Every structure is written in C-alpha cells, then in structure tokens.
Amino acid sequence: MALVVDRILCSAAAVRGAIAEVLVVNDDSTDRTLDAARRTGARVVSTRDVLEMPGRSRGKGDAMWAALRVCQTDLCVFIDADVTRVSDSFALDLIEPIVRRTDVRLVKGSFKRMSNEGLANSGRLTTLTARPLLSVLNPTAARFKDPLSGLFCAETQMLRNLRLERDYGVDIGIFLDVGEKFGFESIVEVDLGVLSHLPRDLDDLGGSAAMICRAILIRNRGEMSIPKEQLPAVRSVSGRAETRHDWTSRSPVGAFGSCWIDGVGVV
C-alpha cells in the first residue's frame, strides 16, 4: 500500500494538482498498511466507523461503499491495495479519458500481470471465470480485456447511485451496471502496462469466482436469468474452514447525502 500511495503522490496527476486527496480504507487490516498510508499523507478511514449504522463489512464491496460515503470529490479513482508494481503515471492514465471525453462514464485499467510464472495477459479469474461466462450471456461485455479490473475511474456521483455488491462481485457488478445503464460504448479501457499483484491461493480464488458468477447471473436478462431469491449462498474454503456468503447488496450511497470539492479522489 505504501508503494501505491507514494506512486500516486508522485504521479503527473498529483503534480498538476488534479488529485485532491488520497483515501485509504481500512477494512480490519492486520498488517502495517495504515501506518504506511499515514506516513505518505493519505487520509485513512475505517469501515467499522463508516458502516456502523448500515452494518459491518462483508468484503471488498463494502469497503468501496465506505469510500464513496466519505469521498468528497467529483471524480474517484479506485486502486487495489494489493498492487505491488505500478507506473508513476497510472493515476493520470485512468483520469484523462473521462476528463477529455463527455461520452465516457467508466475507465477501466487493463494490464499485463507479472507473476512467478512469468507475464500473463489476464488474471486467472478473468480467464477462467468472468470472460467465459460473459461470452455466453453477454458477448458485448466479453470483448473487454479486463472486466474485473479493480483499477478504474468514474464520476463519484454515478458510482454513488449504483447498488453495490458487498463482496468480490463489486467490480464486475459496477462494470455491468454502467454498461446496462449507459451502454458499453461508454466504458473504455486504458493500457497501464505491466503490474504485479500479491499472489492468492486457489481456495481464496474459488470463493471469489463464485461471487463473480453470482454478480453476472443476477444481471443477466436472458433466458438463463436467475431470480435473486433463488441464488444459493456462496461457500469459500480456506484450509478446513468453510465460510458461507449469503447474497446481499447495499443501497446506493447517494441516498445518504454528501458534500463535494473539485478534483479527483484516489482510493
């Protein structure tokens, strides 16, 4: 996280004054992320505080909901906290298309991944879960290289008006909801080059894959659509422990009100 925040502050966007604040959401972190974030000048908020009334966090989507609840800028750039290798200009690369073009509503970062096995064009969840399912149910959405990318930029108010998945299905949910509401031509991908993520084991990826499938199936309008009330709970296994994840989503953040300042917030 310290590396990501430092890169943001040193990027061309920060130099030009476009980034109003860097926000780090603490979702019960147990490492030194918060100390590192504060040392680099980021504002740190806790999901425990922001979600006190709506209920405790249940994953990535809730952390993003909390960020939108406290974000005060008109544009918001989301960056995954497990990114370990980024370019100095990646924040600017995500911001520029939505600033220059009035028809763009969502900018998704596309990138090659560096891992112990070498360079990969797409992540395992994208290659084995999201794109195959989208190719059957929504071929237009399947043409995007990185529909699961957690690096993206959008108008904060638009995001605040969406109903967010509470878990790992949030990124694909936002992507599909924006495509449904504004057309997939309003979504553009930008090449961010080569990035690295912290590795995840297969047990962890299995639970995430199920959450992604569920988010896609909920939004499918064709003959294979599944009513939300018929969706089974997702079960993830880590070691010998099994965790049940019932489907829920949060009401749009916009229902809670906010205040605004000009500029871009990076989360």
pLDDT at 1: 58
pLDDT at 260: 44
Return d(Cα 164, Cα 55) in angstroms, integer: 14
Q: What is the largest CA-CA distance in the chain?
A: 52
Residues of the chain below pLDDT 50 = 223, 237-241, 259-261
Q: Is 129 exposed, middle or buried (0-12, 13-18, 19+ CB in 10 A)?
A: buried
Q: Are 85 and 169 in contact (CB under 8 A)?
A: no
Q: Are 11 and 93 in contact (CB under 8 A)?
A: no
Q: Which domain holds residue 131?
A: 2-266
pLDDT at 134: 95
Q: Are 68 and 78 in contact (CB under 8 A)?
A: no
- What's the whole-model pTM score? 0.83
Number of domains present in the structure of the chain: 1
pLDDT at 68: 93
Q: Is 54 exposed, middle or buried (0-12, 13-18, 19+ CB in 10 A)?
A: middle
pLDDT at 261: 46
Three-class secondary structure of residue 66 per DSSP: helix
How does pLDDT run across 224-249, given as a tens digit for each residue? Answer: 555 555 555 555 544 444 555 555 66
Q: Are 165 and 251 in contact (CB under 8 A)?
A: no
Length of the chain: 267
Q: Are 148 and 130 in contact (CB under 8 A)?
A: yes
DSSP 8-state code for residue 230:
G
Three-class secondary structure of residue 14 per DSSP: helix
Q: Are 108 and 130 in contact (CB under 8 A)?
A: no
Where does residue 80 fall: left (phi above 0), alpha (psi -120 to 50 degrees), or beta otherwise? beta
We report the CATH number of the domain holding residue 158 as 3.90.550.10
pLDDT at 83: 77
Task: State in Å, rounded, how far the first CA of the chain is from the last one.
Answer: 11
